[in-house]
Structure 1
Amino acid sequence: MAQGMIEVERKFVPGPGTEERLQELGGSLEHQITFRDIYYDTPELTLMQSDHWLRQREGSGWELKCPGAVGVSGAHTKYVELTSDPAIVARLCQVLEAEELGSGGVAAVLSPLGLQEVASFVTKRSSWKLMFSGADEDEEPLLKVDLDTADFGYTVGEVEALVREEAEVPSALEKIQSLSKMLGVPAHEKAPAKLIVYLQRFRPQDYQRLLQAHTTGEKPQGTEHPDNHLG
């Protein structure tokens, strides 16, 4: 993905007929893969509390999700994804209020920044793509639908569009909302992300730390309710 692209997404709970419905709508199965995600944060979860999510994905490298601009409400969320080491390191130093640590890469700054592994799990993913009829692929982004099953028994789906400019976000939101409706997703459904469910099940103290922090300050996107999270 190009550096600094804006990810607009909505998570949902897939049903037994979701893949069949995607086929009916003209979707095509791109691939099925299995991968491990490892998330890193400080012992106090400083990144997550500021709505930043640092992940190393098997086969893909490092990614830092950062909060997008305000103004996205409802079941949708918007993030900027950083995927180059220099950009990630610079943002980490900014969020953690640390001095610039040079160009040694993300792995080299984990220890100096006090970052440690907080979650690790394997996901089986089926990735679908589809284009609304009449759309020009050169001008209109494909909609992507990922159907994930984590190795701790949780299944979640995600409808996603990637755009280059803030001005494109409203159109992307409209397309995501339309597709979600066609997939039978309730209008206000907010499915938890895999990471948050992992913390809730296996690191309940960290999960409670996030909830408590968000009751006294600005809440990261998707943490409005214990059952509705994004990460």
Structure 2
Amino acid sequence: MSVEVERKFVCRSDTETRLKQLGAQFVGERSFQDRYFDTGKFTLTLSDTWLRCRGACWELKCPVRAREGEEEEEGRERGGGQRKIKLCTRYREITELSQIVDRVRQVVLRERSGEGEREKEKEIEKEGGKEGEHSCKTEAEFEGQRERREEREKEGEREGQWERETDSAWLGEFALVQFASFTTVRRSYSLPGGVRADLDLVDFGFAVGELEVLVENPEQIPAAAEKIEELVEKLGLSEACKNRVPGKMDAYLKQFHPEHYGRLLSAHKLHP
């Protein structure tokens, strides 16, 4: 199971032109709707675990640290390499419904039993790391993985009602309710070195870009972050992206659910 190393950036009027000058190939444009779910106490998102239904497809994004023992506290002094990693998000994406249900059950039950948040995250990441062991993919295989994921999501959109493909009755078992829903128009580019650039425009008036590199294990995260940093500099975005750029969920919650947004800020799961 691959790790998505991603970094948001501020789109400018010349961003697409600069991407093409760097050898980017236009992949295409598509539209998709995301619905996000959590408990009333924000159990999943406060564990930095994000459950969504895109089209007719369930997806769960779980956090991954760059290395064992990596510190996450805000305000700590960091070297250049650590700063580059900190500016990126790192998640494993689970798409098999049975695995999603099992992982959600783990997080919810740990919360109910009173275990600490750090222990929850360590266990999730430990299991995710085992899933990704002993595998080495080429750039072409990663690109194929992206294409299969997108085709699966497009098929879900063509099916129409997202309930048709999955039995959503399990949501009630964990008291999960929808807390966010928005539609994104995405223009995608593929760059040399396995980097993907997505330019997103969301239906509530927010626009953001994202650079993504897929890796097989946490030890490869620093190299991926370095690759993304180099591209940020070539795009002339270093000054605009010297701090972490808010993503779609940050903007959505800040605008529509300020209490939820405030809780996540306090827990350092989102950043102002």
Give TM-score, length-normalised by structure 1: 0.81
* 1:9 partner amino acid: E
In structure 2, what residue type is equivalent to 1:122?
T
Residue among 5, 12, 15 paired with 2:12 = 15
Residues 103-132 of structure 1 deviation map (CA, whole Å, 9 limit, x = unaligned): xx6723111111000000010100110114
SS at the partner of 2:260? helix
Unaligned runs of 5+ in 1: 100-104, 133-141, 227-231
Pairing partner for 1:114 from 175, 178, 181 = 175
Q: Kindly report which structure 2 residues correspond to 1:1-231, keeping only aligned pairs within 5 A, or say none.
A: 4-58=1-55, 61-70=57-66, 71=70, 73-97=85-109, 107-132=168-193, 142-186=194-238, 188-212=242-266, 214=267, 219-220=268-269, 223=270, 225-226=271-272
Q: Which amino acid aligns with 2:108?
A: L
Q: Is the 8 A contact 1:9 1:158 kept in 2?
A: yes
Change in Cα spacing, 1:52 to 1:175, as seen in structure 2 (3 Å) is same
Instruction: Specify the SS of the correspondent of 1:110.
Output: helix
Q: Residues of 1 paired with 2:235 and 2:246: CA distance?
A: 18
Q: Which has a greater percent of strand?
A: 1
| Partner SS for 1:78 | strand
Matched residue count: 201
Cα distance, 1:196 vs. partner? 1.7
State the distance in 2 between where 1:197 and 1:68 align. 23
Instruction: Tell whether the 8 Å contact from 2:64 to 2:218 is kept in structure 1 after alignment.
Output: no
CA distance, structure 1, for counterparts of residue 234 and residue 104 of structure 2: 39
Relative contact order (alpha carbons < 8 A, sep ≥ 6): 1 or 2 greater?
2
Name the SS of the counterpart of 1:169 in structure 2: helix
Residues 138-192 of structure 1, C-alpha deviations (whole Å, 9 max, x = no match): xxxx110000000000000000011112232222111111111111222523111
- How far has the Cα of 1:80 moved from its partner? 1.1
Question: Using the alignment, how far apart are the partners of 2:213 and 2:220 within structure 1?
Answer: 10
Give the match's secondary structure for 1:87.
helix
Match of 2:155? Answer: none
CA distance in 2, matches of 1:85, 1:127: 26
Q: Give the distance between the partners of 1:180 and 1:64, measured in 2 at CA.
A: 27
Q: Please, what is the CA RMSD of the aligned residues? A: 2.0
Give the corresponding residue for 2:148: none
In structure 2, the residue matched to 1:229 is none
SS in 1 for 2:65: coil
> Which stretches of structure 1, 4 residues or more, deviate above 3 A after TM superposition?
70-73
Q: Which amino acid aligns with 1:211?
A: L
- How far residue 209 of structure 1 moved from its aligned partner, in angstroms, is 2.6
Provide the rounded CA distance (Å) in 2 between the counterparts of 1:207 and 1:167: 31
Residue 65 of structure 1 aligns with an amino acid whose one-letter code is: K
Distance 1:93 1:28 in 2: 41
| Alignment check: 8 A CA contact 1:74 1:188 kept | no
Unpaired runs of at least 5, structure 2? 71-81, 113-165
Aligned partners of 1:85 and 1:106 also within 8 Å:
no
